[in-house]
């Protein structure tokens, strides 16, 4: 009887031990599942954050594109009005520009930055061309040609960058300065190139060697002056209009 009882106890103990082992295994599996769930939740949150950033950037890019298209439409609309007017476009855009010394030529007499304007307001609709007779490419600084809503004559800064809003310009290394910062979305140019600037009711654009592009920028005013930032000694510019 005792032997039979012992045998049964051993059997029960063995089964109990097996159940305990299975329980431990289930506990481990449950812990692993929880860990996997935590990792999955973290991955989902990371994916969500990444998507949110991408979505935000996409919205900002779309808003910039809409603004660019709107500015271009305004420029085309104003250009069509100009073409439909009874006055000759040539009469409307003729500026008779000269540099402030009365000459059509400007030669930079110093080595160092000078930012200045031609002190003549261009008017609501204008177009003028600047030929780059000489541009020194041996230095890291650069020249900028563009527009300003105020008169300037200082030995510092760059149009569209340090001078902030109200100034705008393009430079030889695809530089475009606008809203107090610069981008590299423009067209490269150098010695011998002709840069033409046009404006209609505050929306301005430019061409290199009379080839059209899709760029335009709203200056927010028609009270504009031709403007320059020049760096290298002997760099030379010529007004063609």
Task: Give the CATH number of the domain where residue 98 resides.
Answer: 2.60.120.920
Kindly state whether residues 73 and 139 are assigned to the same domain: no
Q: Summarize the confidence of residues 40-56 as an average pLDDT.
A: 72
- Strands in 194-200's sheet, in edge-to-edge order, are 105-107, 236-239, 125-134, 194-200, 203-208, 217-218
Q: Summarize the confidence of residues 126-135 as an average pLDDT.
A: 92
Give the list of residues 6+ apart from residue 124 with CB closer than 8 angstroms, or none: 199, 200, 201, 222
Q: What is the pLDDT of residue 64?
A: 64
Range with lowest mean pLDDT among 11-15, 47-51, 86-90, 218-222? 86-90
Kindly state whether residues 109 and 228 are assigned to the same domain: yes
d(CA 229, CA 100): 15
d(CA 162, CA 145): 14
Q: What is the pLDDT of residue 54?
A: 66
Q: What is the pLDDT of residue 86?
A: 41
Q: What is the pLDDT of residue 88?
A: 38
Kindly state whether residues 217 and 144 are assigned to the same domain: yes
Side-chain-side CA neighbours of residue 57 (13 Å) = 6
Kindly state whether residues 211 and 111 are assigned to the same domain: yes
Kindly state whether residues 105 and 212 are assigned to the same domain: yes
- Given a cut of 70, whether residue 24 has pLDDT beyond it is yes
Q: Summarize the confidence of residues 148-170 as an average pLDDT.
A: 90
Kindly state whether residues 194 and 106 are assigned to the same domain: yes
Q: What is the pLDDT of residue 82?
A: 42
**Model confidence over 77-123: pLDDT tens digits?**
544 544 444 433 333 445 688 999 999 999 999 888 999 999 899 98
Number of domains in the chain: 2
Kindly state whether residues 112 and 157 are assigned to the same domain: yes
Kindly state whether residues 227 and 115 are assigned to the same domain: yes
Range with lowest mean pLDDT among 21-25, 60-64, 90-94, 190-194? 90-94
d(CA 125, CA 78): 9
Name the domain boundary from 57, 84, 111: 84
Greater pLDDT, 54 or 203: 203
Kindly list the distances between the CA atom of residue 101 and the CA atoms of 20, 97, 98, 117, 134, in Å, as whole numbers in the listed order. 101, 11, 8, 12, 19
Name the domain boundary from 84, 112, 144: 84
- Given a cut of 70, whether residue 72 has pLDDT beyond it is no
Kindly state whether residues 133 and 190 are assigned to the same domain: yes
38 and 30 Cβ atoms separated by less than 8 Å: no
Kindly state whether residues 52 and 101 are assigned to the same domain: no
**Model confidence over 181-229: pLDDT tens digits?**
877 777 888 899 999 999 999 999 999 999 988 899 999 899 999 999 9
- Given a cut of 70, whether residue 67 has pLDDT beyond it is no
Kindly state whether residues 70 and 102 are assigned to the same domain: no
Give the list of residues 6+ apart from residue 151 with CB closer than 8 angstroms, or none: 117, 119, 225
Mean of the per-residue pLDDT values for the chain? Answer: 79
* pLDDT classification of 165: cutoffs 50, 70, 90: confident
Give the highest mean pLDDT range of 4-18, 116-130, 168-182.
116-130
Q: Which sign does the torsion angle of CA 146, 150, 155, 157 carry?
A: negative
Name the domain boundary from 56, 84, 112: 84
Q: What is the pLDDT of residue 96?
A: 80
Kindly state whether residues 174 and 60 are assigned to the same domain: no
- Structural domain boundaries, residue 180: 93-239
Percent of the chain with pLDDT over 70: 74
């Amino acid at each position: 009887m005792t032997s039979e009882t012992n045998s049964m106890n051993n059997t029960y103990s063995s089964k109990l031990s097996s159940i305990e082992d299975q329980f431990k295994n289930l506990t481990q599996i449950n812990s692993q599942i929880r860990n996997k769930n935590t990792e999955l939740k973290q991955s989902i949150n990371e994916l969500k954050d990444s998507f949110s950033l991408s979505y935000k950037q996409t919205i900002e890019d779309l808003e910039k594109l809409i603004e660019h298209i709107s500015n271009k439409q305004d420029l085309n609309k104003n250009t069509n009005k100009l073409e439909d007017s009874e006055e000759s476009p040539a009469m409307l855009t003729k500026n008779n520009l000269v540099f402030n010394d009365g000459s059509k030529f400007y030669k930079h007499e110093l080595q160092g930055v000078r930012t200045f304007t031609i002190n003549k307001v261009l008017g609501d609709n204008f177009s003028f061309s600047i030929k780059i007779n000489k541009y020194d490419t041996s230095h890291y600084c650069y020249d900028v040609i563009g527009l300003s809503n105020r008169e300037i004559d200082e030995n510092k800064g760059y149009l569209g960058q340090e001078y902030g809003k109200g100034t705008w310009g393009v430079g030889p290394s695809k530089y475009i300065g606008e809203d107090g910062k610069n981008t590299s979305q423009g067209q490269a140019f150098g010695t011998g190139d002709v840069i033409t600037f046009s404006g209609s009711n505050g929306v301005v654009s430019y061409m290199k060697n009379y080839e059209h592009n899709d760029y335009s920028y709203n200056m927010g005013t028609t009270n504009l002056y031709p403007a320059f930032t020049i760096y290298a000694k002997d760099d030379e510019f010529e007004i063609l209009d």
